Amino acid sequence: MKIILTQDVDNLGAPGDIVEVKDGYGRNYLLPRGYAIGWTKGAEKQIDQIKRARSAREIRGREHADEVRTQLEALTVNFAAKAGEAGRLFGSVTTADVAAAIKSAGGPLVEKRAIELEGHIKQLGDYPVRVALHPGVDATVTLHVVSA
């Protein structure tokens, strides 16, 4: 079965790659979960859009990753969330919330998949957030969760 990947799949490829997989793997796992779409002539155009979006977000090399790391580590990232009197949040802070907070703090565009949280953030306070920028280059950002 010939498919086009829409997300990173371990040991298979990156978004926009055309790969050949076993029928059952494609039909029962990749397609239902949205990791891939079936290959057609019309889907060829979608590949170009996926690759352009990926190249816009992509870190271009180790030097660029080091520059982005210095930008991120110099940031003060605040996230305002609704909280109760004891400081417990109504809900939790997600990686998408952290990516949006980094962007609103004046930082570079970071993919939510590159952000790694140490457990769930459900209390007010300061939390270290690791951002994987490039193989071997990680940035640590301190997230200040404050009451809204």
Average pLDDT, stretch 105-123? 87
Average pLDDT, stretch 94-121? 88
Q: Let me know: does 81 contact 91? Beta carbons within 8 Å.
A: yes
Domain with CATH 3.40.5.10 in the chain: 2-57
**Which tens digits make up the pLDDT trace of 74-83?**
888 999 999 9
The CATH number of the domain covering residues in 2-57: 3.40.5.10
Name the residue with higher pLDDT: 55 or 123: 123
Q: Let me know: does 120 contact 91? Beta carbons within 8 Å.
A: no
Measured CA to CA, the distance from residue 126 to residue 96 in angstroms comes to 17
**Which tens digits make up the pLDDT trace of 8-45?**
888 898 888 889 999 999 999 999 999 999 888 888 77
For the cut 70, the answer to whether the pLDDT of residue 56 exceeds it is no
> Do strands 137-147 and 77-81 pair parallel, antiparallel, or not at all (unpaired)?
parallel
Domain 62-147, what fold? Ribosomal Protein L9; domain 2 (3.10.430)
Domain with CATH 3.10.430.100 in the chain: 62-147
